[in-house]
Structure 1
Amino acid sequence: MRRWNDRMLKIKMFISFSIVALFIVGITCIIFYYKNTSDVKNQTFSLSKIIAKQFSEMIDLYMQNIEELSLSISIDPAIQSNLFDFFKATNPIEKETIGYKLNPVLFNFSYPKSYVQSISIYTLDGHGYHYTKVVNHPRPSQVFTNEELRNFTDVLSGKPFLLKPSNEERTFGDQSEAIVSFIHKITKIPTQTIIGFVSIDIDINAFKMVLANKEANESNNAMHVLLVSDEGQVIFENWDQMTGLLHADFDTAVFKRTVPEGELQWNNKLYLYTYEKSAYTGWNTVILIPKDVILLKQKKVQDIVIIVGIITMLLIAAVSYLLSHQITLPLNNLMRKMSRVELGDFSQRMEYAGNNEIGRLSRMYNLMLDSMSRLIKEVYESKLAEKNAQLSALHAQINPHFLYNTLNIMKSISRLRGVEEVAEISESLASLFQYSMKNLHQPVSLLEEIDHINNYFKIQQHRFGNRVELQCDIPNDHLQASILKLTIQPLIENAVNHGLRRMKSGGCITIHTTKCNELLTITVTDNGEGMTDVKQAQLSKALDISNMHYHFTELTHGVGLINIHQRIQLFYGKQYGLSLFSKPGGGTKVTLVIPFLIVQQEEGGIA
């Protein structure tokens, strides 16, 4: 002990640090031998999970963007109009001409999207219009048959879109582009009846941009990133060896396991895998890392540990000082800049250029500030857009209110100058506008609807004189019944314009109400010219059938009745609505059945 105490301090430090370093290195190597494999695997699984989740989320964003594009195409007025023209076309030339009209429309939608390869519009009978960016392929990679389109109709009735990867079998090394078809239904506005489909072919090579990483390490370079369907089809593979293959010998049993990680054999090679299933697309993002790469990395780490241990015995003091200085200096600089950011100065950026943890932290800090600045700008622009929308809405209300006020001015001037007939018309028309400007979907009392009808009829009497009259047979206890606004007045208007317009005298319209079993029955009867049996049968069938495509293509009259019928059924239920009876020369009778509900004026609701 005495001889040890007499030795020089630098020798004691050297011997002490050497012994400690040798002990630590020895223990570390032993522990590392048994546990490092598990640790590296866990780290690999953790990293793979992050990559799988991020890649899956980015693919979901791509597909959400495509869904927005498909929705824009499906509701585009030009698409709707041309499809409507297609249904009316009677010969093939007219149908092909529609394709020339659709071509510039599809070009405008696909041009800003570099990853969109082609866009196709399909009608229900299998006719297709295609636009593709590939010059030497005038038709898209996938063209669907009538049977597939019928299947799309069934599937898309219950889900918003359908994804169809290309079924092209490719040999190893083939660089032909593989695609995924995003299929969305086109519904007729406003009936929501399916009238066709839009298919957007996506070049899946665009998915590689998500994986672009200039700082990829050895594991990342050897990593396989796959998009696999539940049936085992490899939709995308970052090495382009298996992309688009139907039979890639991928074991789909891994998707049924409770733990989304483990080892698997694929293409005669052992891999560590993790996967993330997308609830949006239904695809599985699989990350495969060769196990031999992990073992090689483990051996390199072991060698580094030994070398570092030897160097540590000689330079531990100097390294401690330099390391502490290198760590604390940028951290202190980062803390100063974060204090400035806390005060609201978002221009503070780190200029540390290293590739170590401090450098990564500095870049993450800079990215965080960029994201915060961008989000603040987006929120500001969103608020500004919201204010502009509110101003536009207020501006849109000026015209009807201006017209309503002008009619009141006309009424006042007419009465001052003794033109009472013009004043009455202006007053009635002003009341009509005031009633119509309120919420169309808010129920009103039957009394309010009758007052609105009286205002309308006053105007018509100035036109027809005593040729027509209106009779109301409504008990007082029915006047507070709840009814959708503008459901009776159009029936009166139909009776005037179609039933009584040719009568020279004696025209009569009767409104009658009855109540039975909590049902309110409103009958509008006229003694006009009536309608033919064929026309009555068409209208009755249209009221019974819910297929709106039939309604608007087969009928030239009665759209207003169908409109009222639909509003009643949407608000009260399918068991309510309109029915009619008519005969030539014997007038027309329209019956409206709704539940008997009382309007609560104090609460503005329905009892």
Structure 2
Amino acid sequence: MLKTKMFLSFSIVSLFIVGITCSIFFVKYTSDIKNQTFSLSSVISRQFSQMVDLYMQNIEELSLAVSISPAVQNSLLDYRRASESIEKEIIGYKLNPFLFDFSYPKPYVQSISIYTLDGYMYYYTKLVEHKPAVPYSFDELQQFNLLLENKKFILQPMIGGEGIGEAPKRIVSFLRRIHRIPTQQTIGYVNIHINVNAFKALVLSQVQAGEFAGSMRVLLVDEQGEIVYENGSSAANNTSRQRFDLGLLQQGKLEGELQWNGKSQLYTCETSSYTGWKTIVLIPKDIVLSKQKRIQDIVIVVGIVTMLLVALVSYILSHQITLPLRNMMRKMSSVELGDFNQRMDYTGRNEVGKLSRMYNHMLDSISKLIHEVYESKLAEKNAQLAALHAQINPHFLYNTLNIMKSISRLKGIEEVAEISESLAGLFQYSMKNLHKSVSLQEELDHINNYFKIQKHRFGDRLELSLSVPDELRQASILKLTIQPLVENAVNHGVQRMRSGGFIHVGARDHDGLLTITVMDNGPGIEDTKLEQLQHALHTANALHGLRDAADGIGLLNIHQRIQLYYGKEYGVTISSPPGKGTMVSVTTPLRLVDQEEADGMR
């Protein structure tokens, strides 16, 4: 059914369009979520890395201030001159106030240590009750010295710096050389311990709101993969040294996915050109997927609602279209059974309304045609009865003329016999099938019979001339095509002439066309009447021709018969210059009687 096809077609197309649209929207939206997540974490990692660099630059400035301090320079020189342990201890007591002055304004500085070249340490810490510091060994200092050949300072994550009764803390050791002024000779090392909890404020300033605040992890990892700092409560309680596998990072990519602590994470990475540390921001992928799940649910709900609406609209639309069509089908079934009174009542302005009106007009036209055909058939039957009745009189008259001819010859009245014979020939020729084609010779014989009678009427006042080549006498023409033209020439052309009346009948072949002309030397036709006659020939129709036939076969009848039989390009033409007679021409295709009979047999 059309209704089902329309409904299924609309539904399938709409399902496809809605499905593609929702899929594109879902993919695009989830991609945007991922990009926004990467963008946010990239900003955080970059800003955090920059802030750590600022802290380290501040420490570098502090270490430089300590290393060029006259108190530190003099203390190290005094140490080289001291020979007793007590002298070395006194130097430390003198140095302590200066180290206090350097560290006090910096809350993130936990302690400052001054190392001599032989590994002796002067140590200051802010802890009130602290455990004794474990100094670097001489070998470690020698290794640091080699590394400092290519670097200004060394950053080393470590666990330590705890006070008595306190848990160890994560710290960063900042170590650099102390050069003697102005010789730039290395005379010692300065080591500053930085409490990494100072980085917590940096993280909080970057991650302080939003749905990722509680789940985002910010890691500060050194070049060897050791974790310098990690945010979060669990990281704060974990004082063991941890490492991060740098191989998890996709090579050459600053963002991507990795597995960490048993979970899939989205990461962004920022490497500091100053410290060499990497700031890695991790966001659990399941949090991002939860947002995708919410969007997916919304898209599915919207898609289902859209589908239901489209299905409802397509059903209503298909019902509105097919309902009048089904009604028309029922009415056409009744019309098929012969009931032509079935009409459509649909009055809409759309295509179905136009189709309904056309259907009603078609039934009206069919009813009218049926009525006209019925009347024409009835009229044809009546005409056939009248024709059968009318044939009785010509046959009776033909037989009577033959009796008159016989009696006239028996009694020696030859003129009456000749007239009777010619008139009998006219009636015999006319009683045959009017629509049957005959040879031109038969039509000429009919003209001669007609002219014999007229000769007895007009005597020497009228002459007939026939100029027809022998090869054209077997040409096929319609019966009673030329004789009525001769009759018109007699009645309307030369009838009133007292002498010298002349009628000429000629025929010629012109490029496969047979042209027969009938000319008289009468007074001609008036211009107005000639114009009306030519217009009538130009606009003649079958009904007009039949009306002429009822009054006697005339020009219009001959013209119409020729066009109906041969085609519109053939027919009758007439010309009549004033005072110079009238010429009527008949043009038909040149066909021989034998050729037409052979075509009829085929």
TM-score for the superposition, normalised by structure 1: 0.44
Find the structure with the greater CA-based Rg: 2
- TM-score, normalised with respect to structure 2: 0.44
